Amino acid sequence: MEPPAPGSRGESRGSVSSETAGAAVAGATLLAVFGPLVGLSPAWIAVGIGGALVALTVDASQWQGLGGHLVAEALPGGRSRLRRIACHEAGHLLIARENDLPVQRVLVGTRACLEAGVRSNGATEFSIPDSVRMSLEDLRRWSRVLQAGIAAETLIYGAARGGADDRALLGRLWGLSGHDVDTAQREQRRARREVDQWLRAQQPALAQLAEELLDQASSKVAMPSSDG
């Protein structure tokens, strides 16, 4: 397994591609049922549905569903989607500050990520140390920071949609650390408990930071971390 390169990122992604697909299927069904009632030709309905399905397939295979996210974020209700992403990234940022780990930048929303060259709908980017053979205490700090987005989203929304990249990066760091699996799992569980307790106590600060990130996203500005 290759070690993470210096400057590698911990990126959180929302997992709502199934919602995009469901919306497309529902729209196609409504069009097929009600289209003829308003005078639309069945041929044009078929062409429209076929084109939409092709676009959905290409988006899923080539862009990991980001095109659907981009459209959904621009539609009415898009701010609520962005708020959830902002909550996730705020969790990372709060815990990183508490653990003195520098954050390169925070991106909220698919548009901000794509403009920054990141294929995601939300990202908190960290500088990974040159040496991947970290001390146990450093691994504990990274375990808290990388699980904080999932913990924040779960605290506010009851479950997390994003965080697959966070878990993957955390697994790589522990896998390269030389510690056995039991130690890695025990320490990650311990870190998650600590993060859950800390964020619960800091929930007002979490909500405030999420709103600040959301406002920055609405202004199409990526928020740089105060840690550099």
Is residue 5 situated within a structural domain? no
Contacts of 68 (CB under 8 A, 6+ apart): 17, 20, 21, 24, 56, 59
Interatomic CA distance for residues 82 and 205, integer angstroms: 18
Task: Let me know if 45 is exposed, middle or buried by CB neighbors in 10 A (0-12, 13-18, 19+).
Answer: middle
Q: What's the number of domains the chain is made of?
A: 2
Q: Give the CA dihedral 218, 219, 225, 228, nearest 10 degrees.
A: 150
Is residue 70 situated within a structural domain? yes
145: domain CATH number is 1.20.58.760
Tokens for 183, please give them: 């130690």
Interatomic CA distance for residues 163 and 170, integer angstroms: 11
Residue range 162-177, pLDDT digits in tens? 888 899 999 999 988 8
Per DSSP (E only), the strands in 2-69 are none
Name the residue range of residue 45's domain: 17-74
Is residue 175 situated within a structural domain? yes
User: Would you tell me the crossing angle of helices 66-74 and 78-98 to the nearest 10 degrees?
Assistant: 110
| Partners of 107 in the β-ladder | 123
List the chain pLDDT tens, one digit each, 228 residues: 333 433 344 444 433 344 454 555 555 555 555 556 556 666 655 555 555 444 445 434 444 445 556 666 667 776 888 899 999 999 999 999 999 998 999 999 888 888 888 777 788 998 877 666 788 999 999 999 999 999 999 999 999 988 888 999 999 999 888 899 999 999 999 999 999 999 999 999 999 999 999 988 777 544 444 444
Assess whether 46 and 109 both reside in one domain. Answer: no
